[in-house]
Structure 1
Amino acid sequence: MASFLGSTLEYYDFFIYGTAAALVFPRLFFPEGNQTIATIGAFASFGVAYIARPLGGLVMGHFGDRIGRKNVLLFTLLLMGMASLGIGLLPTYSQIGIWATVLLVLGRLAQGFSAGAEAAGASSLTLEHSPERRRGFFTSFVMTGYASGMVLSTVVFIPIAALPEEALMTWGWRVPFLLSVVVLILAFWVRTKLDETPVFQDEVEESSAPKKLPAGQVLRFQGGDVLRVLLMSIFSVMQTIFTVFGLSYATSQGGFDRTSILTINAVAIGLSMIMMPLAGLLSDRIGRKPLILTSMAGCGVSIFLYFLALGTGNIWLVFGASLLFMTVFYSGFNGIWPSYFAELFATPVRYTGMAMGNQLGLVVAGFGPMIGGLLLTDGTFGWVPVAVFGLVCVILAAGAALSSRETAFIPITRLGEPYLRATASWETEESVETHQKSSGSPKTQSPVLSPL
């Protein structure tokens, strides 16, 4: 519940910005005169948060691996909430000129810093609290919270987008940002009730050696896994192309009204709240890699079907393509990566390693809408370069997934094999297991695996 609500707030705040960037920010925070440049500028301001995300992941991952997951996740909630409230209160370009754009970007950078720490922290926390062989199911609720936040942000914007133009451009767009305080209060209260994770507590209590920098340790011993997570995270460009670029393309090029497309997006993402836990549950039984690779292949094909549907002008075809693309295939990836990425790393460097790789890869996803705007050409099939760009990202991500280890069936204390072997922790675990088997004593708790 703590991870679900925290992710709901983080992604609600993060993606109301994306909706506003597609619908209103080009006119409110950029100079008038060239709508195309203003739109690309708004998409770029959406993308700058993804530059701050790796920094947030690195800084907060360091503290998360040094002092614990809980307090860091409380801080990320407060930062995201304050940044969103600040954006909702900003004056516009017509009121203070270029300073409005600067303040908007600063608020977006703060959102990105917070979001960069949230996903890895919530995934590590939930994974480490989960029972063995059910880690995929429980950790899927981190991204179920993402879907909840996305749906909430979209549903809030539906009546706002239906307002008269003057009301929308003056006060209406501010309402979704200001409402985030409700979720902030609830999520913060729930997280204060959390305990630190048992496996992290054990690692802290048993380790007598001075702690080294987690970033240096993970790059030294698990640099390959950081790179794999980075490349697999590029696949998230599918999400931003659908939610931000697709929304803009459908309303400006496809002739659909804002309310219809927002409703379709809300339904498609809302149904993924059912699909993601199912994907996590299935991955506990058959493994993470088969489902991730199937999801990537499905999205690589269905992105073309989605844009073809937008070109027909038929709202029901768009709805069907959205369900296939986002609800079925993308949910398969989204429900599994929180557990899979976290499982690639050992406990002492889990938060940092996952955050570094994941957030660096998401930089591409963040600028996906802007790249799409630059690649878009005139004509009925002007979207093809955008879809090809998405397909290239799929190929890169699938290659990284193929080269990664399967982790679903490995005990949590044995995760992060390269790190454990390099620090002699692997041999420590094996010797304890051998002693317990020979003495006939039950293994009630896995030993602590700490750096030397």
Structure 2
Amino acid sequence: MSRIAGASFAGTTIEFYDFFIYGTAAALVFGPVFFPTLGPAAGTVAAFATFGVAFFFRPLGSIVFGHLGDRLGRKRTLIYTLLLMGISTFAIGLIPTAESIGPAAPLILVVLRALQGVAVGGEWAGAALLTTEFAPAGQRGRYSMFPQLGPSIAFGLSSATFLVTALTMSPASFAAWGWRLPFLLSIVLVGIGLYIRLKITETPVFAQALARREPVKLPFKDVFRHQWREVLLAGGTLTMVFGFFYISTVYLTSYAGQAKGVGVLGLSRPTVLVGGIVGAAGFALACVVSATLSDRLGRRRLVVAGNLAAVVVGPLAFLIMQPGNAASFFLGITLLLVVVGIPYGPAAAYLPELFQTRYRYTGAGMGYNLAGILGGALPLAIAAPLTAAYGGIGVGAYLALLGLLSTLCVLALRETRDVVIDAAPAAATA
């Protein structure tokens, strides 16, 4: 289990690092680099739109890689997702600017971002199944927290990478070429992740299903035939998680900054990036505590608690954050990300436990990535207009509505803590 936990943690950290450095770059430099004629505010909105493209391709990734994962196995599919993400991310670091090749530059950017979306759309469910299908009964929450730590650590690493570049080069150098370094250096992390994943074995649950000749020809068709309700409700349940997370990790980077026409809090770039690292630490801690407690208290109870907390914390965080006050920004972003961690911690056990083995990869991935469209792409698209019309409290109120929606959805789902997963040990070990 230590090797499996390490493989799932390393893989999701690397994949989400690749995914998140795009978001940080979109908030900081992609506007002037790829949309120079639009001006600062409109250029940033356009950059966020390219970031959102990935969310619409994530469900496609869950279908494609879910099919492979349910037909060929979890291990092999996770190698494919890692390679696709690594190649796409490295290529983004090589794209010429719009001044060099004109409209072709943002077009190439969108295509590569779409490929990133396909890759990460197939990643999460496979990593979640890797731990859930290996873990002893009674400890699935504890072990499934490892892939859930990936996004928090990845966000911290992404912020730290851009912080180093911001502190070691001038703003002009960073805008000209420095932003490319995180994308190009990510290929080293991908190589490490590939080495780790090649060392693991197939999950015993899938191996047993394969021996019984259980894998279906079209997992996507079967999951919607038999468990379409769970797919839709799982997506609604995690909508708050995505909305809070991407507002915190992407939108707040520009909201808290000093960019003309975009920044509201007026904080320096290093200060904003340090805030991201602080928030990521709170997110990781909340994931660990919540996932561990879910083995004792139940997955559903923790997810309900996190979604209800979101109704209050969404507006509260934006009331706390004040212009020119770094401490208030650190507190606000940390509160938002801690609320994310409460339901996200148990999610890697909860969603797989909802679905049958023969289409579990597809079902869990579809539910998770449906939430990405509702909670990831849409809030980023409307956050800037809401801020312009109502101030930050407008974004906070919208996040509260997402918390209410997710609460209603999880209340319609069942508890799964005691669900039996084929081939898992019958009892927990000390």
Indicate the residue corresponding to 1:141 in structure 2: 146
Aligned partner (choices 279, 293, 297) of residue 290 of structure 2: 279
- What displacement does 1:319 show? 1.8
SS in 2 for 1:412: coil
Contact 2:322 2:328 in 1 (8 A): no
Contact 1:293 1:401 in 2 (8 A): yes
Q: Deviations over 1:59-105 (max 9, x none)?
A: 11011001100111001001100001000111001111100000111
Are residue 391 (structure 1) and residue 389 (structure 2) matched?
no
Indicate the residue corresponding to 1:339 in structure 2: 349
Contact 2:299 2:350 in 1 (8 A): yes
Structure 1: distance between partners of 2:365 and 2:288 = 22
Contact 1:84 1:178 in 2 (8 A): yes
Contact 2:71 2:217 in 1 (8 A): no
SS in 1 for 2:388: coil
Structure 2: distance between partners of 1:336 and 1:293 = 11
Structure 1: distance between partners of 2:215 and 2:226 = 18
Task: Tell me which moved more, 276-285 or 113-122.
Answer: 276-285
Indicate the residue corresponding to 1:227 in structure 2: 232
The letter for the 1-side match of 2:54 is A
Contact 2:70 2:215 in 1 (8 A): no
Indicate the residue corresponding to 1:315 in structure 2: 326
Pair member with larger Rg: 1
- What displacement does 1:145 show? 1.5
SS in 2 for 1:269: helix
Indicate the residue corresponding to 2:3 in structure 1: none
The letter for the 1-side match of 2:407 is A
Contact 1:46 1:366 in 2 (8 A): no
Are residue 402 (structure 1) and residue 411 (structure 2) matched?
yes
Contact 1:19 1:244 in 2 (8 A): yes
Indicate the residue corresponding to 1:369 in structure 2: 380
The letter for the 2-side match of 1:383 is G
Contact 1:58 1:352 in 2 (8 A): yes
Aligned partner (choices 292, 296, 303) of residue 307 of structure 2: 296
The letter for the 2-side match of 1:68 is G
Aligned partner (choices 84, 90, 107) of residue 95 of structure 2: 90
- What displacement does 1:150 show? 1.1
Aligned partner (choices 162, 166, 183) of residue 161 of structure 1: 166
Structure 1: distance between partners of 2:166 and 2:346 = 33
- What displacement does 1:414 show? 11
Root-mean-square deviation (Å)? 1.8
SS in 2 for 1:311: coil
Q: Deviations over 1:155-174 (max 9, x none)?
A: 00112234312101111100
- What displacement does 1:237 show? 0.8
Q: Deviations over 1:335-367 (max 9, x none)?
A: 111111111101111000011121122012332
Indicate the residue corresponding to 2:21 in structure 1: 16
Indicate the residue corresponding to 1:105 in structure 2: 110
SS in 1 for 2:265: coil
Aligned partner (choices 193, 204, 207) of residue 201 of structure 1: 207
Contact 2:204 2:423 in 1 (8 A): no
Q: Deviations over 1:219-264 (max 9, x none)?
A: 1111110111111121111100111111111111111111111101
The letter for the 1-side match of 2:202 is E
SS in 2 for 1:10: helix
* Structure 1 runs not aligned, ≥5 long: 416-442, 446-452
Task: Tell me which moved more, 291-300 or 192-201.
Answer: 291-300
* Structure 2 runs not aligned, ≥5 long: 1-5, 258-262
Contact 2:17 2:155 in 1 (8 A): yes
Question: Number of paired residues?
Answer: 414
SS in 1 for 2:154: helix
Contact 2:156 2:280 in 1 (8 A): yes
SS in 1 for 2:37: coil
Structure 2: distance between partners of 1:24 and 1:177 = 13
Are residue 36 (structure 1) and residue 41 (structure 2) matched?
yes
SS in 2 for 1:179: helix
Task: Tell me which moved more, 123-132 or 404-413.
Answer: 404-413
- What displacement does 1:214 show? 0.8
Structure 1: distance between partners of 2:301 and 2:180 = 43
| Structure-2 change in CA distance of 1:33 and 1:147 (3 Å) | closer
SS in 2 for 1:376: helix
Task: Tell me which moved more, 306-315 or 52-61.
Answer: 306-315
Indicate the residue corresponding to 1:356 in structure 2: 366
Identity of aligned residues (%): 38
Indicate the residue corresponding to 1:256 in structure 2: 267
Structure 2: distance between partners of 1:107 and 1:312 = 36
- What displacement does 1:33 show? 4.4
- What displacement does 1:372 show? 0.6
Aligned partner (choices 70, 78, 81) of residue 86 of structure 2: 81
Q: Deviations over 1:160-195 (max 9, x none)?
A: 234312101111100111111121111100100111
- What displacement does 1:210 show? 7.8
The letter for the 1-side match of 2:210 is V
Indicate the residue corresponding to 1:422 in structure 2: none
Are residue 244 (structure 1) and residue 250 (structure 2) matched?
yes
Contact 1:48 1:366 in 2 (8 A): no
- What displacement does 1:144 show? 0.6
SS in 2 for 1:390: helix
Structure 2: distance between partners of 1:274 and 1:117 = 25
SS in 2 for 1:400: helix
SS in 1 for 2:216: coil
SS in 1 for 2:16: helix
Contact 2:314 2:336 in 1 (8 A): yes
Contact 1:306 1:321 in 2 (8 A): yes
